[in-house]
Amino acid sequence: LPQVCFIGRSNVGKSSLIRALFSLSPEVEVRVSKTPGHTKKMNFFKVGKYFTLVDMPGYGYRAPKDFVEMVEAYLQERHNLKRTFLLVDGVVGIQKTDQIAVEMLEEFGIPYVMVLTKIDRASKGLLLKNVLKIQEFVKEKTQGCFPQLFLVSSVEFSGVHLLRCFVAHVTGNLPTVEAS
Ligand code: GDP
C-alpha cells in the first residue's frame, strides 16, 4: 500500500489532526498497528485498501537527535512513502527543532509538505506573519518542500477536507480519467 507519514514536535496537534482526518471518513475502516520493539512507537493506520498513514513519534525540544536516529531507518528505506507531512504549530511558527527536521528531510531527499496546525488559536495578524515567514523559509531554504502550505484546525475542521484530498491524490487514490 502507498504510505504517507506525519511528523512534528510533541504537542503540535498531530494526533488531533489524524483523528480529524479520519472522523470525516467514518465509512473507511481504519486499523491501527504499532511497530514491535520500539520504545517510542510509530503507529500505522491502515486506511481501508487505499493507503497507510504512519504516525511518527513526536520530537521533543531537547531530543531532535534521538528522533532522527529513531526514524532514520524508516525514512531511508521508505518503501512506498509517497509524501511526508511536517506539522508546524500555527501559533509559534517554525522552531529550531522544526528546522532540524527540515534539514533531515532535505538530506534524505524526501518530498514533503508543511502543514500549519491550530490556526483557530492564532489571530489573523499572527497567522499571516507566520505564513509569510514560512513561505519565505520554504522558498529560500528548501528543495523538497511542496510550495503550498496547508492551514488546518482540528477543532474547527478548517482545511481538513483539502488535506484529505491532497493525501488521496498523492497516494494515487484520485485517478484521473484518460482523455481519448
Ligand atoms: P500531539 O502531541 O502532536 O499529538 O498533539 P495533540 O493532538 O495531542 O494536541 C496537543 C494539544 O493541542 C491538545 O491540548 C489539543 O487539544 C490541542 N490542539 C490540537 N489541535 C488543535 C487545534 O486545531 N486547535 C486548538 N485550539 N487546539 C488544538
Has residue 116 got a pLDDT over 90?
yes
CA of 35 to the centre of ligand 1 (A): 24
Q: State the average pLDDT for the chain.
A: 88
Pick the residue whose CA is nearest to atom 28 on ligand 1: 118
CA of 154 to the centre of ligand 1 (A): 8
Q: Is 151 exposed, middle or buried (0-12, 13-18, 19+ CB in 10 A)?
A: buried
Q: What is the CATH number of domain 3-171?
A: 3.40.50.300
Cα distance between residue 59 and residue 45, in whole Å: 19
CA of 178 to the centre of ligand 1 (A): 41
For the record, the C-alpha cell of 100 comes out as 532540524
Over residues 135-174, the pLDDT tens digits come to: 999 999 999 999 999 999 999 999 999 999 999 999 999 8
- Beta carbon of 155 within 6 Å of any ligand 1 atom: yes
Over residues 77-89, the pLDDT tens digits come to: 877 999 999 999 9
- Beta carbon of 9 within 6 Å of any ligand 1 atom: no
Over residues 19-47, the pLDDT tens digits come to: 999 887 777 777 777 665 544 568 889 99
